[in-house]
């Protein structure tokens, strides 16, 4: 009789032990799974610091990196494609900062003293001052002729008054050859009128790189 009365108690203890044991196994398994699936490292993407010496690979070079940077900065300042500025400089002086023509044009962009003064260049033989004034003048011409590269170049070579007089590229052999040569180097007949910020994107002048840095949890 006593044995029969103790059976329910025994069964209850057995079930309780089984429940506790099962719960312990489940908790251990869950803990292991959580730790196994947790990443030990995470990738963090950070923007690389801009390289002050960066020049796009498709922009022409004078062979002097410092001079190339001067030309690039002048172009950026006025929203001009540096590829066009290089084409003009190549045609005008072949990158000779001390160049002087028989007509008195001076420096990289062969600026006549009156034009240099008009665009705030006090020393046409200073490459930075010359390139900056030349880029400013070229931008002014592009605006005046609604982005038409041929007319802007004709104005640079023969004067904007001559372009107005003939309602197009003047019939001067020198000017026509000048326009053809630069457009052949530049490869474009239209130049969009952009802000300096817009030009950076349009002409692909920004260095869009990122670095991945691994960080421990």
Q: Tens digit of pLDDT for each residue in 40-95?
A: 444 444 556 778 889 999 999 999 999 999 999 999 999 999 999 999 999 999 99
CA dist., res. 145 & res. 138, Å (int):
11
Q: Give 132-135's long-range contacts (Cβ < 8 A, gap of 24+).
A: 132/74, 132/77, 133/109, 134/74, 134/85, 134/88, 134/89, 134/108, 134/109, 135/74, 135/75, 135/77, 135/78, 135/80, 135/85
pLDDT, tens digit, 9 for 90 and up, residues 112-166 = 999 999 999 999 999 999 999 999 999 999 999 999 999 999 999 999 999 999 9
**Quick check: is 126 in a domain?**
yes
Tokens matching residue 29:
């398994």
**Quick check: is 51 in a domain?**
no
> Do 99 and 153 lie in a common domain?
yes
> Do 136 and 174 lie in a common domain?
yes
> Do 22 and 119 lie in a common domain?
no
pLDDT at residue 21 is higher than 70: no
- Which domain, by its residues, includes 12? 2-38
**Quick check: is 87 in a domain?**
yes
**pLDDT attached to residue 26:** 47
From the candidates 92, 106, 143, 174, give the one annotated as an active-site residue. Answer: 92
**Quick check: is 124 in a domain?**
yes
CA dist., res. 153 & res. 172, Å (int):
13
CA dist., res. 196 & res. 158, Å (int):
27
Task: Mention every residue, 6+ apart, whose C-beta is less than 8 A from residue 15.
Answer: none
**pLDDT attached to residue 13:** 44
**Over 94-151, what HEC string results?**
CCCCCCECCCCCECCCCECHHHHHHCCCCCCCCHHHHHHHHHHHHHHHHHHCCCEHHH
Tell me, yes or no, if 92 is annotated catalytic.
yes
**pLDDT attached to residue 46:** 52
> Do 171 and 70 lie in a common domain?
yes
> Do 106 and 165 lie in a common domain?
yes
> Do 28 and 109 lie in a common domain?
no
> Do 95 and 131 lie in a common domain?
yes
What CATH number should be reported for the domain holding residue 194? 1.10.530.10
**Quick check: is 207 in a domain?**
no
Percent of the chain beyond pLDDT 70? Answer: 73
> Do 73 and 154 lie in a common domain?
yes
> Do 13 and 106 lie in a common domain?
no
pLDDT at residue 212 is higher than 80: no
Provide the number of structural domains found in the chain: 2
**Quick check: is 176 in a domain?**
yes
> Do 74 and 145 lie in a common domain?
yes
> Do 177 and 117 lie in a common domain?
yes
> Do 6 and 96 lie in a common domain?
no
**Quick check: is 144 in a domain?**
yes
Indicate the length of the chain as a whole number.
217
**Quick check: is 46 in a domain?**
no
């Amino acid at each position: 009789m006593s044995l029969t009365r103790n059976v329910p108690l025994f069964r209850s203890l057995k079930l309780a032990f089984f429940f506790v044991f099962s719960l312990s196994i489940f908790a251990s398994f869950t803990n292991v799974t959580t730790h196994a699936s947790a990443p030990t490292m995470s990738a963090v993407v950070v923007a690389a610091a801009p390289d002050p010496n960066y020049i796009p690979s498709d922009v022409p070079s004078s062979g002097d990196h410092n001079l190339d940077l001067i030309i690039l900065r002048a172009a950026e300042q006025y929203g001009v494609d540096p590829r066009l500025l290089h084409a003009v400089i190549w045609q005008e002086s072949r990158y000779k900062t001390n160049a002087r023509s028989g007509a008195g044009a001076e420096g990289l962009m062969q600026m006549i003293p009156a034009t240099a003064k008009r665009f705030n260049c006090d020393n046409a033989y200073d490459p930075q001052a010359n390139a900056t004034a030349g880029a400013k003048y070229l931008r002014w011409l592009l605006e005046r002729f609604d982005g038409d590269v041929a007319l802007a170049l004709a104005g640079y070579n023969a004067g904007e008054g001559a372009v107005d007089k003939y309602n197009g590229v003047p019939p001067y052999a020198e000017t026509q050859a000048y326009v053809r040569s630069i457009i052949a180097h530049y490869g474009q007949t239209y130049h969009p009128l952009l802000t300096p910020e817009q030009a950076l994107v349009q002409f692909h002048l920004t260095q869009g790189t990122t670095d991945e840095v691994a960080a421990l949890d």
